[in-house]
Amino acid sequence: MNAFPSLSPTAADWTPESWRGKPALQMPTYPDLQALEDVLGQLRRLPPLVTSWEILALKRQLAEAQEGERFLLQGGDCAENFVDCESGTISNRLKVLLQMSLVLVHGLRKPVIRVGRFAGQYAKPRSADTETRDGQTLPSYRGDVINAPEFTAAARMPDPQRMIVAHSRSALTMNFVRALIDGGFADLHHPEYWNLSWMGCSPLAAEYQKMVGSIGDAVRFMETLSGAQVHNLNRVDFYTSHEALLLPYEQALTRQVPRQPGWFNLSTHYPWIGMRTAALDGAHVEYFRGIRNPVAIKVGPSVQPEQLLRLIDVLNPDDEPGRLSFIHRMGAAQIADKLPPLLDAVKRDGRRVLWVCDAMHGNTESTSNGYKTRRFDNVRREVELSFDLHAAAGTRLGGVHLELTGEDVTECTGGARELTERDLERAYRSSVDPRLNYEQSLEIAMAIVRKQGA
């Protein structure tokens, strides 16, 4: 193994645009190429959204998660919308992630790495390029960075100007998250700041408040003992992630920085490639090969062990700690069949990856009244089975990846309030996939602790 893998130079045959020589799936067709070039020129000049030192700090933390010393909590919307870039939505999402991480820290007795699916989660892969309604066929909605969801020819036309809007909405989101955290919002002395209005009446409130109380006691005890404020407990870190789908946008935010070799994607800390674009010889894997960020790949039930090993060869040839995560998303019904051969192959080859469970995307179904939903029990069961299957294989589940919101939506059925299919009509707001609401999210965190707690 290379003793200084992070200093190894970028592969000689890679450039930020070498992906253009490979098949790029899920890309929009822009009608005006000159307009696209103008936008990309503007984007290349705009300031980045994150820094290389934050990226490298996260990579070190992910390396610790690989060793079982930390646990990754990655969560947020399936798709952010430009209109949802507003203070209530952002702070509620932050609150639920902070509450979940508090439950996990308390129960697992290890630090939690908090990564939002936000500040850039604007591009969506679709199963079909077009959509037909009442005899009219239009391009599919591909996320707000590409087009708009309304079913009109104008809304569905890919518009490169949306990349500039996505960059600025991402920056506004980041700015607000950073300001909240720096301003004491995430202060462990005041977990009551994170309470959502539902707290009082939730069936989970008593268990949560008990935990908060005992954390408060621990903080006060340590402060009494040391005679000083527990400064490094005051703050928590937050990192961002999104699916790196729209490669022209990602390329424009791929930069070199002073005093660091190589290239960084400075639009987000921890980009991932979705299941539909993870082909070994495809453009997305080619793009990921050359950036120094920690990267993640979604792994679905059709992936073969050999494919996974080849992906490791390409994406982490030096076996660099923290560099590569596999997010498995098999579904509760299939995970016991599909996951073990992958775990065995990676373990047998002695490869270093961070295994993460996405308990959402293998559990999507449609109701008879036309809603896309997920059953809470399947989500919880997939997380629980993941822990068991990793334990049996001698590997480690290092984190979870969830679609969730801090809002009181009714998109997934079940959970403490036993939402039914009829409840879905009440507050179904997602423009793509169904999310856990705040209460179901907290319940998943509690289920993880019950399964795995010290």
If the CB atoms of residues 78 and 327 are measured against Co ion, the closer one turns out to be 78
Amino acid at 103: V
Contact predicate 122/145, CB 8 Å: yes
* Contact positions with ligand PEP (CB under 6 A) in 54-113: 78
If the CB atoms of residues 107 and 125 are measured against ligand PEP, the closer one turns out to be 125
If the CB atoms of residues 156 and 435 are measured against ligand PEP, the closer one turns out to be 435
Tell me which of 156, 242, 269, 361 binds ligand PEP, using CB under 6 A: 361
The stretch near ligand PEP (CB under 6 A) out of 126-134, 199-207, 246-254, 269-277 is: 269-277
Is 328 marked as a binding-site residue? Answer: no
Least distance (Å) from ligand PEP to the CB of residue 315? 16
Is 235 marked as a binding-site residue? Answer: no
Contact predicate 230/223, CB 8 Å: yes
Is 78 marked as a binding-site residue? Answer: yes
Is 403 marked as a binding-site residue? Answer: yes
Contact predicate 58/113, CB 8 Å: yes
Q: Per-residue string for binding with Co ion, 67-106, x by CB under 5 A?
A: -----------x----------------------------
Is 298 marked as a binding-site residue? Answer: yes
Q: Does 435 bind ligand PEP (CB under 6 A)?
A: no
User: Nearest to residue 439, comparing CAs of 418, 421, 423, 416?
Assistant: 416
The stretch near ligand PEP (CB under 6 A) out of 51-59, 179-187, 191-199, 268-276 is: 268-276
Least distance (Å) from ligand PEP to the CB of residue 165? 20
Q: Per-residue string for binding with ligand PEP, 307-346, x by CB under 6 A?
A: ----------------------x-----------------
Q: Per-residue string for binding with ligand PEP, 222-261, x by CB under 6 A?
A: ----------------------------------------
User: At 212, phi and psi to the nearest 5?
Assistant: -60, -40
Tell me which of 433, 441, 443, 448 binds Co ion, using CB under 5 A: 433
Tell me which of 298, 323, 380, 381 binds ligand PEP, using CB under 6 A: 298
Is 433 marked as a binding-site residue? Answer: yes
Tell me which of 125, 139, 282, 290 binds ligand PEP, using CB under 6 A: 125
Q: Does 120 bind ligand PEP (CB under 6 A)?
A: no
Least distance (Å) from ligand PEP to the CB of residue 137? 23
Q: Per-residue string for binding with ligand PEP, 370-409, x by CB under 6 A?
A: ----------------------------------------
Non-local (6+) Cβ contacts of 228 within 8 A are: none
In the bound state, the residue with its beta carbon closest to ligand PEP is 274
Residue-wise burial string across 377-387, b where 16 or more C-beta atoms lie within 10 A, e elsewhere = ebbbbbbbbbe
329 makes contact, choosing from Co ion, ligand PEP, none, with CB < 5 to 8 Å by partner type, with ligand PEP
Question: ∠ at Cα 441 (439, 443), nearest 5°?
Answer: 70
Binding residues for phosphoenolpyruvate: 117, 298, 329
Q: Interface with ligand PEP by CB under 6 A: which residues? A: 78, 125, 274-276, 298, 329, 361, 433
Binding residues: 78, 117, 298, 329, 361, 403, 433
Binding residues for Mn(2+): 78, 361, 403, 433
Q: Interface with Co ion by CB under 5 A: which residues? A: 78, 433
